[in-house]
Amino acid sequence: MLDNQSTTELSKLGEFGLIHHLTQNIEIKNPTSLKGVGDDAAVIDYGGKKVSVVSTDMLVEGVHFDLSYVPLKHLGYKAATVNFSDIFAMNAIPKQLLVSIAISSKFSLDAIEELYSGMLVACERYGVDLVGGDTTSSTSGLIISCTAIGEAEKEKLVYRDGAREKNLLCVTGDLGGAYMGLLMLEREKEVFKSDPKIQPDLEGNDYILERQLKPEARIDIIQMLAERGVQPTSMIDISDGLASELLHICTQSGVGAQLYEEKIPMDPMTFDRAREFSLDPTMCAMNGGEDYELLFTIAMKDFEKLQNNPDITFIGHITSKEAGVNLVTRSNTEHPITAQGWDALLGK
């Protein structure tokens, strides 16, 4: 796979560019490998009634979490839950979890038990068995790698590439809260560092703090879709932000989309805190990430089955590829959507 791009910097490629670069020449050879790299999870078909859906994620201390304000039990819960979210995003149900952790000597047995207990609470909550893993030492900090395995009937699976023109664009819950929770925690950490006598002032921010520290995955939506007989045409979970996820769906489906700013669901607390931080609330919802809500598309015929559900908001529709992926602002102007990520959001 070596080519002449020896001077290309990783930072230029970005995470998705790197994954694409590394995996673009991979050929799937085993008949059981139904779906490889490029969706929320891989799909493996053993020829039985159900197929197996597998997803893996790695969390690194100092990159994905800061133990100065993240309780270990919450971290364990979140590490498991974000993996389950990937399985739900395939319209599948997680059943098994494998957990590998690398720990440095600064951690006590109590600390590791806290981490594990959080994972086990998440497993209990979502009906998942912890079936394996690896425990090793680290020279610096904590690393958690989780692999979730789920099951689904093959014809019920939902990929990222099935969105079609005139499909409706739906999102669950509300967006931007996890990111505002993170900004609150970071701000109080800085205050505490400058003067340890000042106690953190987090009162009244429970909702956004919980969105950041203990997110839930939308098993309720997957169950509801099944009950109402709705098969989404495409689906992805919102880990990197609405903009990035919508671009994944549009790129892989070969379509465009119109997304209406005024429709994007936000909790009033998220909106108010964004204003306090002098941030555009819409930008927080578009690029904040870590909401673990589901973004999906449905055929118009299914609209009535979902229209009265308070957990689902219709935020736009799918268009032709040529029309592009656009945000229609409150002032009714159109802006092409780009995946800006956190750096752009923070003006870095």
Q: Is 111 helix (H, G, I), strand (E, B) or coil?
A: helix
Paired tokens of 137? 């030492």
Please report how close the Cβ of residue 334 comes to a second copy at its closest, in angstroms. 33
Q: Which helix (H) or strand (E) holds 95?
A: strand 93-103
User: Does 42 interact with a second copy (rule: CB under 8 A)?
Assistant: yes
Q: What are phi and psi of 309, to 5 degrees?
A: -85, 120
Q: Which helix (H) or strand (E) holds 125?
A: helix 109-126
CA-based nearest residue to 296, from 141, 159, 198: 159
User: Does 67 interact with a second copy (rule: CB under 8 A)?
Assistant: no
Distance between CA 145 and CA 123 in Å, rounded? 15
Our CB check for a second copy shows the closer of 5 and 329 to be 5
Please report how close the Cβ of residue 39 comes to a second copy at its closest, in angstroms. 8
User: Does 98 interact with a second copy (rule: CB under 8 A)?
Assistant: yes
Say how many residues touch a second copy, by CB under 8 A: 83
Our CB check for a second copy shows the closer of 129 and 201 to be 129
Our CB check for a second copy shows the closer of 134 and 262 to be 134
Distance between CA 217 and CA 224 in Å, rounded? 14
Q: How many CB atoms lie within 10 A of CB 182?
A: 21
Please report how close the Cβ of residue 70 comes to a second copy at its closest, in angstroms. 15
Q: Is 266 helix (H, G, I), strand (E, B) or coil?
A: coil
CA-based nearest residue to 315, from 201, 169, 96: 169
Segment near a second copy (CB under 8 A); pick from 20-28, 175-183, 200-208, 340-348: 20-28
Residues numbered 68 to 97 that lie near a second copy (CB under 8 A) are: 95-96
Our CB check for a second copy shows the closer of 124 and 220 to be 124
Three-state secondary structure of 270-289: HHHHHHHCCCCHHHHHHHCC
User: Does 132 interact with a second copy (rule: CB under 8 A)?
Assistant: yes
Residues numbered 134 to 153 that lie near a second copy (CB under 8 A) are: 134-141, 143, 145, 147, 149, 151
Scan for tokens 């993996």, then name that residue. 83
Please report how close the Cβ of residue 33 comes to a second copy at its closest, in angstroms. 4
Residues numbered 248 to 287 that lie near a second copy (CB under 8 A) are: none
User: Does 184 interact with a second copy (rule: CB under 8 A)?
Assistant: no
64, 189, 305, 321: which one binds a second copy (CB under 8 A): 64
User: Does 198 interact with a second copy (rule: CB under 8 A)?
Assistant: no
Paired tokens of 247? 């671009």
Segment near a second copy (CB under 8 A); pick from 33-41, 165-173, 200-208, 322-330: 33-41
